[in-house]
């Protein structure tokens, strides 16, 4: 303890204290450097935040170097500030190169602005997602099938960029898939990574469509390397499945016009005392929302019968 105390005492009291203070203020260059430091440390995160920080800090260190060279005339102060200015300059050039290298085609840029940027996904993370699909947008012509019921294997996950997809089962219409929705999210969610399966519905392009496709195995490898991307896709797929459930819910009816709520299997919006509600049996594959409940009719078929 005595040695530590003597060390700190020598460090603090070895230098002479200031008996007189300068009456005049430092030059304007010194104050400009201080202002640049204060503003520079208010920068944010991300690429553009780094550009903001390094540019202002670099200018601040440059002003300090000029102040040390002209006013203080101290070689050590000038040297340290100029070295820090050079480091900031190199960092600025490096970040600028990274920003220029992270560039995408128009469709991928629009996809980022519409879906990923509102979630706070950085360009570096989005770049990993784009590279996983080989930065390719696939075209599906009108009336061509993306998947056929009972034939097409489930080996990828696709996101619709433009156009409209019609989903049918046994030739009967279920719902549409619109841009920024997954084409096969129920199928993806119904299988474990080691399982294989085939589509239980048919997906047909009603217009010329463009979509992005990730291969199953390649996407699971990306999830294993980056847990954040895995959680991101889990949220996006869950939200997409919920939207498809709501789309099916608008078309499902039970019995004599009783509206069936697919979210609440035991609840009917209208019920009569003499007609006990019958619990519909679902013909689903591990919770897939695309299969129609057995014994349930569509609005169109019910109106035709009545």
**Residue 198: predicted pLDDT:** 92
- pLDDT tens figures, 271-288: 434 444 444 333 334 445
- pLDDT tens figures, 160-169: 999 999 999 8
Nearest to 40, CA basis, from 74, 91, 76, 78: 91
- pLDDT tens figures, 223-249: 999 999 999 999 999 999 988 888 777
**Residue 273: predicted pLDDT:** 44
pLDDT of 17 over the 90 cut: no
**Residue 253: predicted pLDDT:** 52
Q: Which two tokens stand for residue 130?
A: 């784009």
183 versus 255: which is more confidently predicted? 183
121 versus 282: which is more confidently predicted? 121
How many angstroms separate the CA atoms of 239 and 225, rounded? 23
**Residue 4: predicted pLDDT:** 60
How many angstroms separate the CA atoms of 61 and 1, rounded? 39
What mean pLDDT, rounded, does the chain reach? 80
Minimum mean pLDDT range among 4-13, 34-43, 106-115 = 4-13
**Residue 276: predicted pLDDT:** 45
Most distant CA pair in the chain, distance: 104
Section 112-117 average pLDDT: 91
How many angstroms separate the CA atoms of 127 and 108, rounded? 10
pLDDT of 14 over the 90 cut: no
Which pairing describes strands 202-205 and 172-177: parallel, antiparallel, or unpaired? Answer: unpaired
- Whether 302 and 257 have beta carbons less than 8 Å apart is answered as yes
11 versus 280: which is more confidently predicted? 11
How many angstroms separate the CA atoms of 214 and 203, rounded? 17
Whole-angstrom CA distances from 91 to 57, 78, 84 are 11, 20, 11
Minimum mean pLDDT range among 43-52, 148-157, 172-181, 264-273 = 264-273
Q: Which two tokens stand for residue 144?
A: 């061509």
Q: How confident is the model at residue 5 (pLDDT cuts 50, 70, 90)?
A: low
**Residue 12: predicted pLDDT:** 65
Section 178-197 average pLDDT: 90
Q: Which two tokens stand for residue 288?
A: 């897939």
Instruction: Name the phi and psi angles at 175, rounded to 5.
Output: -165, 175
* Strand, coil or helix: 121: coil
- pLDDT tens figures, 26-53: 888 999 999 999 999 988 777 788 889 9
How many angstroms separate the CA atoms of 151 and 191, rounded? 16
Section 149-155 average pLDDT: 92
């Amino acid at each position: 303890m005595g040695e530590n105390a003597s060390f700190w005492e020598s460090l603090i009291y070895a230098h002479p204290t200031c008996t007189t203070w300068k009456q005049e203020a430092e030059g304007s260059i010194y104050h400009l450097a201080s202002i640049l430091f204060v503003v520079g440390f208010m920068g944010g995160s991300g690429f553009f935040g780094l550009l903001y920080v390094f540019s202002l800090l670099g200018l601040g260190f440059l002003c300090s170097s000029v102040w040390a060279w002209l006013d203080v005339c101290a070689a050590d102060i000038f040297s340290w500030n100029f070295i820090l200015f050079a480091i900031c300059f190199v960092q600025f050039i490096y970040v600028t190169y990274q920003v220029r290298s992270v560039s995408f085609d128009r469709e991928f840029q629009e996809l980022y602005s519409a879906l990923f940027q509102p979630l706070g996904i950085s360009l570096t993370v989005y770049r990993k997602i784009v590279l996983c699909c080989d930065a390719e947008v696939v075209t599906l012509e009108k009336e061509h099938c993306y998947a056929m019921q009972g034939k097409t294997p489930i080996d990828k996950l696709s996101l619709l960029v433009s156009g409209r997809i019609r989903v049918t089962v046994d030739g009967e219409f279920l719902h549409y898939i619109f841009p920024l929705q997954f084409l096969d999210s129920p199928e993806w969610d119904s299988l474990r990574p080691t399982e294989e399966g085939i589509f239980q519905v048919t997906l047909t392009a009603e217009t010329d469509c463009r979509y992005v496709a990730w291969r199953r195995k390649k996407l699971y490898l990306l999830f294993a390397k980056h847990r954040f991307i895995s959680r991101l896709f889990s949220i996006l797929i869950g939200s997409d499945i919920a939207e498809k459930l709501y789309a099916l819910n608008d078309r499902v009816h039970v019995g004599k016009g009783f509206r069936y709520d697919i979210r609440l299997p035991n609840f009917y919006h209208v019920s009569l005392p003499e007609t006990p509600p019958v619990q519909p049996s679902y013909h689903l594959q591990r919770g897939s929302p695309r299969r129609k409940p057995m014994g349930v009719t569509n609005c169109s078929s019910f109106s035709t019968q009545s």
